[in-house]
Structure 1
Amino acid sequence: MSKLSPADLDRYIFSRTGAANDDLLVGAGYGEDAAAVATDEGTMVVSTDPISLAAERIGTLGVAIASNDVATCGGIPKWLVSTILMPEPDVDLLDDITAQLDAEARRLGITIVGGHTETVAGLSRPLLSLTCMGPTDRYIPTSGAEPGDAVILTKGAGIEGTAVLATDFSDDLDEAGVDSEMVDRATDFFEDISVLPESAVLGPVATAMHDPTEGGVLNGLVELACASGVRIDVERTDVPIRPETRTLCDAMGVDPLRVLGSGALLATVPADEAEEILAALDAEDIDATVVATVDEVADEDDAGVVYDGQFYTGGVRDDMYDLWE
């Protein structure tokens, strides 16, 4: 599994969006987390996301990831539509999934307003597709980064990936000799997946925000840079990585910057406001670090990310995919 290239997205997705509508303020675009639609009462942010690979906490992750996309665009997640596809009729499995959906939605103050549930032949694991909606007074795109901006990352790389490794691959970690207490701490990272708190702090000043998911923080940076037409040079040593993330990723042979990244928020802010924003995040007990600076490019082909001496301009394959294959 991997994301489509920007060229394929342009050809097969972004050019085929149905009838034009003047109420669509921001539609489908490379790296954009959500759309913006004008309503009589303001702007509505709408996003949809599937989730299938994280079996143990699929409902919890599904709600957090869908609502993150709305919050990352400056919206307040309010409503959720949930589609649940299961490989076979299984009331116990359905009970687990819907209990997780309900608990996480209640925790985040989101109402599940509808959806669809059925079994589908050929599936090997459950598949969820969640659509989240919420109002905003200030839509924030992925494509708004300006040269000179500071790039801020909250929490650290691989938050979601660490939690999924701790649950879906606990037997492998045990065989690799990872301490059980370390795995237990990593499992608690599920509580850090939501980025609603930091979105509220960063939203009023950010020029761009982005939720790194598949492909991790590295892919999130690439999407932000390419969408904004800028270049970002990032050093591995400048990106915060929690000890649990480093230990579990080393044991499984994956790069913390290339694994499921939900739980972190990427944001660009004017450089002269970065220190104040970091202090505001710290006041809310949210770890955050300036990991890079946005650079101007002379040509759009130069837009992208330099990481470990390599230049990236397209989607980064998530290292965790190979673990499921």
Structure 2
Amino acid sequence: MGGSHVSTFTLARALQEEHGVRCLVLCPAETLIARHAIESGLHVISTGEAPTSRHHLIYDASRLFARLQIAKAFPADSVVHFNDLRTMQSWGPIARLAGKPVVYHHRSLNRMTPPKRFLIGLADEVICISASCRDNVSFVRPTKSAVVLNPVHIDPASAQRVDARRFAAEQGCPTDRLLVGFVGNFWFWKRPDLFLQICSRLLQARTDCHFVVFGRSGDWTEHDLVHIAQDLGIADRITFAGFHLPGERNIAALDLLIATSVREPFGRTLVEAAIVGTPYVATDDAGYREIWNTWRGGRLVPVTATADEFAQVALDILSVPENVVLGSKERNRVAKDTSASTHAIQIMEIYDRLRPSLRETVGDP
């Protein structure tokens, strides 16, 4: 469960509520993804398979017949919309065999090997979440690809700072210190270890800071990061709060968001921060650069920036946050540009090109 799933469910809710399109989520039952889909008002079709982060070709071949039966039962005029390449590998050929139009949503910056090019080539349309992602699939014909920014829905109730700080306190954060945070799952490319090093440097200059990590295990485990914090001597000044939704509540609780990722395809946390008014310091790379160039709301540091360099920019922001925090008019512009409604309209235009009769049959089961 990650930001791409949050974006997908935000789109699905808008498609159902504003366009009358019934959205069915195909995934293993009894998983966090299935539970969140149901909570979002979506219908879940169980794959009948155990949850896993990766399927091998032999396993995919063994499931061919069972999966084809599921796909053939999809509504007659449906579009099959894939969230990532792993799912494309498992279900893309199945959708094509079942005669369904295929949309692939490109949300990553991959090294494009021949197998990946083949999988992406199965799609009738490739949706890219940023210009960086589109450059990553430059081999796709322009007529088959489009840039559509990820939808970011902010619940006004969750974005209230007072309530967000109360939530942070419930997770173990103090109420009388500045909160500096990391929000994201613990993948190598998100560099949570660098965040901890930055925290160590910040604490030397600002003893009024406390640090909080919102996220789940990936390449790193929480246990790994706790050990790093202990080695840095900051274990008593950092709270590992776990994974929580909605994401904007985590960000609204912060006085500063530090985003250390490299090659971030889009970076919804920066958008959420800009909308709720939390300043950020982020890596000047890929999607982060695009977000900053478009809306601002924080400051960037070079990809090669050290923990000391990150910390210096963070200290500058903490000293005068109003220099980077967006005003209400600017924040409203970001919210409109990335709204679920705007996103859904753009996606419906793509669906309509693939299935001109879709609007006429949305009432079908």
Q: TM-score range by the shorter chain?
A: under 0.3
Structure with the greater relative contact order (CA < 8 A, sep ≥ 6): 1 or 2? 1
Q: Tell me the TM-score normalised to structure 1 length.
A: 0.28
Q: Counting strand residues as a fraction of each chain, which structure ranks higher?
A: 1
